[in-house]
């Protein structure tokens, strides 16, 4: 089991001003007609500004509008500056980090417009730099579910802001409202990983990405020491594996659990591709028809973490303790088995009191059940297409 307290103590420093080497500064202009469509008041309780304002909701609304109602501008010097953060991890679609989001004052705002970290091959919905109301509401709902359910929680949405603009999609005959999605500041594991697939519009931007990793790791080492950095990496890997085990047992699919979508305390984030899953079978969510075995997510996590561990060693020197693959697998498996016991009706106390032999026997039965289930595939895309046709 991961000690939440130790993991919190080993957190890398969340910089007041995002490091220059780790971001791209962008001029911002205030948007007209900005209005808060929704504020997560439960999460606002954790914002020191809300307390400083005497928990006055109208004053806090005005504060968020004042701090976050900006978009990237290419006209003039801008009224403000924001920092689009560089980060790595699989699944970035050729980006070098935040393609449509940025650190703005004390918040992280998505939908600010195109950033210089967009890759040349990104899909249009992301390449536009926009965020959309339906997407934002979906993310907010899933973030609350994952945060309430999962052992290390999720990065939640603080507020959704509209600004009087929309976009029409010809392909699906649909109009969507454009929004700004506001979250509290956080750090990703991916802030320490190279964006190796970055297809930048700028020549030699890969060297800037490498400099970013070196800068972030040096700052981390200054705060926690080399041993602390490596200890954190092992702990956060184990914690993320526990999260994945919980997701699988309860059939919650985040959609893309790569290093770019984990915070440094193993909270999961970004839920645009999230869904609930009807069974433990392989699920086809891919237009080319490739089934996805969700337990394999943990092997993808291990592969990314092991690569990051080697990358950290290149910058900080060899670790006294190697990356513990087996411990990550064990954390994942134990979580799956524990949650399946809960699902079939055992209490936390009964699970805690079970002998090693009893847990082993149940684990074998659970693994056999999952293996049998995963001999077949559920084609969710085909099912959704049939549903859309009937509608």
Whether 189 maps to a domain, the answer reads yes
Report the distance separating Cα 247 and Cα 389, nearest Å.
30
Over residues 55-65, mean pLDDT: 98
Nearest to 159 by CA among 181, 144, 177, 133: 181
Strand 107-110 and strand 80-85: pairing?
Answer: unpaired
Between the CA of residue 391 and those of 135, 171, 388, what are the distances in Å? 21, 17, 5
Residue 360 lies in a domain: no
Alpha carbons 143 and 129: distance in angstroms, whole number: 21
- Number of separate domains in the chain: 1
Q: Which of 198, 211, 213 is nearest to 95 (CA)?
A: 198
96: containing domain: 17-200
Q: Is residue 380 part of a domain?
A: no
Query: What are the structure tokens assigned to 224, written together?
Result: 């926690």
Classify residue 238: in a domain, yes or no.
no
Average pLDDT, the chain: 88
Task: Judge contact between 153 and 267, C-beta under 8 A.
Answer: yes
- Which pairing describes strands 377-379 and 275-276: parallel, antiparallel, or unpaired? unpaired
- With beta carbons less than 8 A apart as the criterion, state whether 315 and 217 touch: yes
Q: Quick check: is 266 in a domain?
A: no
pLDDT the model gives residue 285 = 61
Q: Is the pLDDT of residue 169 over 90?
A: no
Per DSSP, 106 falls in state T
Average pLDDT over residues 100-107: 95
User: Is there a domain that residue 234 lies in?
Assistant: no
Q: How far apart are CA 91 and CA 82, in angstroms?
A: 24
Tokens (6 digits) for 95: 């980006």
Q: Could you give the C-alpha distances from 237 to 101, 109, 179, in angstroms and in order?
A: 26, 27, 33
Cα atoms found within 13 Å of the Cα of residue 252, Cβ hemisphere only: 23
In a domain, 82, yes or no: yes
Quickly state the pLDDT bin for 223 (edges 50, 70, 90).
very high
Tokens for 374, please give them. 């995963």
Of the two residues 196 and 240, the one the predictor is more confident about is 240
* Domain presence at residue 241: no
User: pTM of the full predicted structure?
Assistant: 0.90
User: Of the spans 1-15, 163-177, 226-240, 246-260, which averages the highest pLDDT?
Assistant: 226-240
> Is residue 296 over pLDDT 70?
no
Least Cα distance to 158 among 31, 288, 49 occurs for 49
């Amino acid at each position: 089991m991961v000690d939440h307290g130790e993991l919190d103590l080993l957190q890398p420093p969340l910089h007041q001003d995002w490091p220059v080497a780790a971001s791209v500064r962008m001029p911002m202009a205030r948007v007209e007609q900005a209005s808060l469509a929704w504020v997560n008041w439960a999460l606002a309780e954790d914002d020191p500004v809300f307390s400083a304002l005497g928990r006055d909701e109208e004053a806090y609304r005005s504060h968020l509008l004042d701090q976050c109602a900006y978009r990237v501008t290419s006209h003039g010097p801008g009224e403000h500056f924001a920092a689009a953060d560089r980060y790595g991890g699989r699944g970035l679609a050729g980006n070098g980090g935040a393609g449509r989001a940025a650190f703005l004052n004390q918040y992280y705002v998505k939908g600010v417009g195109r950033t210089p970290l967009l890759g040349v091959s990104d899909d249009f919905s992301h390449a536009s730099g926009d965020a959309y109301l339906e997407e934002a509401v979906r993310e907010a709902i899933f973030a609350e579910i994952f945060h309430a359910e999962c052992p290390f929680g999720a990065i939640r949405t603080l507020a959704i802001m509209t600004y009087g603009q929309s976009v029409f999609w010809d392909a699906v005959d649909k109009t969507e409202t454009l929004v700004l999605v506001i979250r509290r500041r956080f750090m990703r594991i991916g802030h320490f990983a190279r964006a190796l697939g970055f297809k930048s519009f700028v020549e030699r931007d890969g060297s800037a990405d490498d400099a970013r990793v070196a800068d972030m790791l040096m700052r981390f080492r200054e705060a926690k020491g080399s041993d602390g950095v490596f200890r954190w990496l092992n702990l956060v890997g184990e914690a993320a594996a526990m999260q994945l085990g919980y997701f699988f047992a309860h059939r919650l699919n985040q959609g893309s659990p790569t290093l770019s979508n984990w915070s440094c305390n193993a909270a999961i984030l970004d839920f645009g591709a999230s869904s609930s899953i009807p069974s433990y079978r392989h699920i086809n969510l891919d237009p080319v028809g490739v089934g996805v075995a969700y337990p394999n997510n943990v092997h993808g996590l291990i592969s990314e973490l092991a690569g990051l561990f080697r990358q950290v060693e290149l910058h900080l020197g060899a670790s006294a303790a190697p990356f513990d693959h087996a411990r990550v697998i064990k954390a994942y498996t134990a979580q799956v088995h524990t949650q399946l016991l809960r699902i079939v009706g055992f209490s936390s106390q009964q699970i805690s009191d079970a002998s090693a032999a009893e847990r082993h026997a149940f684990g074998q039965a659970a693994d056999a059940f999952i293996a049998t289930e995963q001999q077949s595939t559920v084609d969710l895309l085909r099912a959704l297409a049939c549903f859309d046709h009937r509608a």
